[in-house]
Structure 1
């Protein structure tokens, strides 16, 4: 019981920090960066905050995976007899959808954080056309990540309440 509660608390806190951090980035950091007073520091501030959030994000991803499976294990859903029946139930199907969206989020985040984001800064001084292309691509993946995160959060809330959309 205690292991489940510890996993639950860390799972919820990790999700709060991840989703809250993304929302904070969108509603606070981005508008501040667009302030004309920060014209000379804009890109440095953007790059430093992105790198800081990136390092926190992957630690949170590991915590979310660990605590998520920890909760399933302590509830007995991963036991040999329960495994098939759980994953073939409506709630199990929602869990599979949640994990699928999480994997999509992880792949999207890896691309955003290690390909499109860095290339945006690489092309800043070298090639304005490529810079603009990767800047837009990074923005698209950032918004996609936020939407996926909100969807995963909603599914997590529904699953925890025993509500199925199937």
Structure 2
């Protein structure tokens, strides 16, 4: 029981930091850097906050995976024989959907953080057309990741309450 509670606590706190950090970024950081007073510092502020959040994000992903499977283990769902019945149940389908969306989120984050985001800054001075392309692409993936994270959070709440959409 203690293992489950510790894993649940880490899972919830990580989700709070991840989703809360992305919402904070959208409702606080982005409006602040658009302020004309910060015209000369805006890109530096954006880049530094993005790098800081990126380093925290991948640590949170590790906690999500560890605590999520820790909760399944503590509930006995990963035991031989139980695993098949769990994954073929309605809640198991919800869990599988949640994990699938998490994998999409992870891959999308990797692309955003290591391809489109950095290329935006690379093309800033060199090529205005490519800069605009990657700026829009980074914005799209940032919004997509936020919406995906909210969907995963909702699925997690439903699964923890034993509610299935299947």
Which residue does the alignment assign to 1:153? 153
Q: Tell me, in whole angstroms, the C-alpha distance in 1 between the residues paired with 2:165 and 2:28.
A: 33
Shift of 1:117: 0.1
Report what 2:97 is aligned to: 97
In structure 1, the residue matched to 2:82 is 82
Cα RMSD (Å) of the superposition?
0.3
- In structure 1, C-alpha distance between the alignment counterparts of 2:112 and 2:132, rounded to whole Å: 15
Q: Which residue of 2 aligns with 1:164?
A: 164
User: 1:164 Cα deviation (Å)?
Assistant: 0.4
Q: Please say if 1:113 is aligned against 2:152.
A: no
State how far apart, in whole Å, the 1-side matches of 2:95 and 2:3 are.
20
Give the alignment's TM-score, normalised by structure 2.
1.00
Structure 2: how far apart are the matches of 1:98 and 1:46? 30
Residue 10 of structure 1 and its aligned partner are, at CA, apart by: 0.3
Q: Which residue of 1 aligns with 2:2?
A: 2
In the other structure, the counterpart of 1:36 is: 36
Q: Which residue matches 2:58?
A: 58
Quote the Cα distance in structure 1 between the aligned partners of 2:89 and 2:14: 27
Identify unmatched segments of 5+ residues in structure 2.
Answer: none
Pair 1:123-2:123 in alignment:
yes
Residue in 2 aligned with 1:20?
20
CA distance in 1, matches of 2:21, 2:53: 8
SS of the aligned residue for 1:165 comes to coil
Gaps of 5+ in 1: none
Question: Where in structure 1 do 4 or more consecutive aligned residues deviate above 4 Å?
Answer: none
TM-score (normalizing by structure 1): 1.00
Provide the secondary structure at the position in 2 that maps to 1:80.
coil
